[in-house]
Amino acid sequence: MSFKELNLSSKLLNTLEQLNYTIPTEIQKKAIPLIIQKRDILATSQTGTGKTATFVLPMLENIEEEKSKRVGDERYKIKALILAPTRELVIQIQQKIEIYGENFTHKSVALYGGIKLGSQVSAIRAGANIAVGTTARVRDHIRNKSLNLSELEIIVLDEADKMLEMGFVDDIRAIMAQLPTQRHSLMFSATFAKPIMSLAKSFLKNPIIVEIDKENLSTKQVKQVVHYVNEEEKILLLSHLIKNNNWNQVLIFTNTKVQADKIVEQLKTEKLTAKAIHGDKSQGMRMEALKAFKEKTIQVLVATDVAGRGIDIIELPHVINFELPLNNEDYIHRIGRTGRAGKEGEALSLICEKELPQLKEIENLINKKLEAIETEGFKFTPHITLSNRKIKQKKKNKGVNLKLAKELAEKMMGSDKSDKKGTQKTKKVVARKSTNKRHF
């Protein structure tokens, strides 16, 4: 199937041709025709599979272009609103709208925290009819009365599962209360967990479920491997791999802000150029770090899951999980940063012994056994799981107890029965043993 078969206009087809987009992805094939028909949908989605284009392309078609310059309050009325969990993702989506909408008269604005409200108000008043924003900043504009949603035609919740996980459900419901009842609603999520289905029930009208096959959850263009390593040697292995393989663009994921900063500092001692992006960094610092990484003026970018959601680099060759994510589904989002737009990439996970059970869960999730690689000097062979270790310890303890009991019995049986004092001593020993056991 080609994009021509998706009933897109010549304006979009010309743009897609210039971008060398020829064959739609699985989610685009299934969802774009439904969105053009203005059907509400609930779709599974993951990064790196053209998800943003899935809702942006038909959105550009469905919203009527401005034929004349709007005046007065009309200028401030938003026709389409896209909600996303992070600033980086908001910026990324807004950039895609500008690229895909080159041949349209639509204007878009990105609404997120970290910068003054006034600059965004100016962009809205300049005639924006499409807004992309975080839930908190959109609510700020609603309170400020700088965002008029009374004539909204389409609303998109992107990465809805992440928004719920981050505690944005109250913001979402407050925003929804401001929207017209007659609207076109789309919702994208990595999973169809109960909270997602509950939100969808209140948010969508007779939605069509668009679900991608499980084997497509992990991008086929990504080579996924694991490296078993002792936990205390992870940072040494990390710097060794980057330096010895001459990797010049590596995205590293970790679970905490503290760990991200620690990795950056340790890599710098190895003469590697690195920066971190996470929630404690200002928006300016995060954008500066991402820009330097895209331009390859730094080798390594270390990110937490939240900050990493908006990283979109088409030819990013390497993603490394310094540690497995707190949420197994985030593994899919992480590795989706490489192998994008049909390009090949590699995702490497550094696995210590305590992460073995979670690795098994992730392999079950993606329905794939991950290949293990080794590096000389970092020999580590996973042997037993925590549960197996407990079983072994119980058996060992049981053996020790039997040995002590046997020794005690032999002493009792071998004592001189004619020696009354010896017998009394033995009885006292048994008594003490019994008493100690009760107190223990």
pLDDT digits over 72-102, tens only?
A: 555 568 999 999 998 888 998 999 999 999 9
- Token readout for 146 is 């700088």
pLDDT category, 416, cuts 50, 70, 90?
Answer: very low
Least confident segment among 116-120, 327-331, 396-400:
396-400
**Euclidean distance between CA atoms 380 and 378, whole angstroms:** 6
189 Rama sector, left if φ>0, alpha if ψ -120 to 50, beta otherwise: beta
pLDDT in tens, 316-334: 899 999 999 998 878 887 8
**Which whole number is the average pLDDT over 131-142?**
96
Q: Which two tokens stand for residue 32?
A: 């774009």
What is the CATH superfamily name and number for domain 222-373? Answer: P-loop containing nucleotide triphosphate hydrolases (3.40.50.300)
Give the pLDDT of residue 22.
84
Higher pLDDT, 383 or 345: 345
Environment class of 22 (CB within 10 Å of its CB; exposed 0-12, middle 13-18, buried 19+): exposed
- Give a three-class secondary structure readout of 288-353: HHHHHHHCCCCCEEEECHHHHCCCCCCCCCEEEECCCCCCCHHHHHHHCCCCHHHCCEEEEEEECH
One DSSP character per residue, 51-102 reads HHHHHHHHHHHHSPPPSS---GGGGGB-SEEEE-SSHHHHHHHHHHHHHHTT
pLDDT of 239-248, one tens digit each? 999 999 999 8
Q: Name the residue with tokens 């029965």.
A: 417
Compare 287 and 341 and report the one with higher pLDDT.
Answer: 287
| Alpha helical stretches, state H, 126-223 | 135-143, 160-165, 169-176, 194-203
Answer whether 0.85 is exceeded by the pTM: no
User: For residue 48, which of 241, 316, 281, 369 has the smallest C-alpha distance?
Assistant: 316
Res 368: pLDDT: 87
Q: Once rounded to an integer, what is the mean pLDDT over residues 219-234?
A: 87
CATH code of 3-212, in short, is 3.40.50.300
Tell me, rounded to whole angstroms, the distance of Cα 398 from its chain centroid: 45
